[in-house]
Amino acid sequence: MPLKTLKRAFLVLCFSLGFAVNGPSLATTVVQDFDTQGLTDMQSISDFVNGEFTKSMGFYSTLGWNDNPSVFDFMAGPHFEIGVGGGVDLIKVNSLGGLTLPALQASSNVSLPADLPAPFPAATLRVGLFNGLDVGIKLLYLPEINLSSIGFTGNYTGVGIDFRYKILDGIKLPTLTVEVNWDEMQGSLGLGTGVNQSSQYTDAGTTYNASVSGTTNYALNWNVRSFGAKLIVGKDLLVAFPYAGIGFQRNSGTVVSTITGQLKTNVNSEPGGINANVVSNGIPVVFEPKYLAGLDFGSGEGIHCNLEGSSNGSDLAASIGFKVMF
């Protein structure tokens, strides 16, 4: 190749490299930075909320039992018990307002009450096996609920089995019973939140007015299992049977939160948008205590009414049940 041609090619190459280095900037705009940070903030919100529910879902799966320490006897009677009832677990959710984020206001993007009331309708069957030992079966079922006016959906199913063994009983003595149980629950919960946020956003040392509008949809899905043991003591006063118990739970499974939504953003009069689709995975609290106290009204065979409250130290649950003994 002639020397002149080589010089010309070299000059063209140098010119091209110079243009690449000093050419048009690919820097992002302020609204693009805001949208990127907003998506990161959305992940932080999802992680925070999922962490709150991991503290409750193991305990929630164990609710619905009638924990009266009086054990059934297949030979002497009462032989069987059939019961129905329901209650509410107040799931405590720490304030999202305390979560400080660079772009989004957490409580404006996912709206949850400080105490979320979670219902648990239940049906139970109990059978005496032999003197001092019985077995119970529990079914929890909440059909699909869809409250479009507030953006709420929810459903779940749960099952359980327990064994109770009477350690101590007598005319003058209290009844002392040990109970072991296995519970499993799976379900979902959905909440829609209308977003209308006005705030300030700081980028590279400059503060801008920012706004966000649209709708986010929060979904919680759980599949948890729990093994527990309790020591329950009570005294039969003929027409009433007060009792109390303490125990532990060993939980496992998965708790998953998802936030989706199309949000419009505006920073410094520049329009933008956030396409949210973030997922947080967790497990329920592995080991936790359980406390309970209750009062059973009724005497011998027939219809009884049972009032019970329980807690794991964070949630507080209360229930009422009606049962027939025969």
Q: What is the pLDDT of residue 170?
A: 79
69 in any annotated domain: yes
Supply the pLDDT for residue 10: 45
Query: Does position 139 have pLDDT exceeding 60, yes or no?
Result: yes
Where in the sequence is the domain holding 266, given as residue range(s)?
28-325
Residue 22 lies in a domain: no
For Cα atoms 295, 301, 302, give the angle at the middle one, nearest 5 degrees: 80
pLDDT (0 to 100) of residue 300:
83
What is the per-residue pLDDT for 2?
54
- Considering the domain boundaries, does residue 111 fall inside one? yes
Q: Helix or strand or coil: residue 9?
A: helix
Could you tell me if 58 and 116 are in contact, meaning their C-beta atoms sit under 8 angstroms apart?
Answer: no
The verdict on residue 233 lying in a domain is: yes
**Total of domains in the chain:** 1
Residue 174 lies in a domain: yes
pTM of the model: 0.86
Residue 179 lies in a domain: yes
Confidence of residue 84 (pLDDT cuts 50, 70, 90): very high
Distance (Å, rounded) from C-alpha 326 to C-alpha 321?
A: 16
What is the helix (H) or strand (E) element at residue 137, kind and residue range?
strand 133-147
Q: Does residue 13 sit within a domain?
A: no
Of all residues in the chain, what percent carry a pLDDT higher than 70? 92
Is 10 domain-assigned? no
Query: Who contacts 188 (Cβ-Cβ below 8 Å, separation ≥6)?
Result: 153, 154, 155, 156, 219, 220, 221, 222
169-191 pLDDT, tens digit per residue, is 877 889 999 999 999 999 999 99
Element (H, E) at 82: strand 80-92
Q: From CA 46, how far away is CA 261, in angstroms rounded?
A: 13
CA 21 to CA 253: how far, in whole Å? Answer: 53
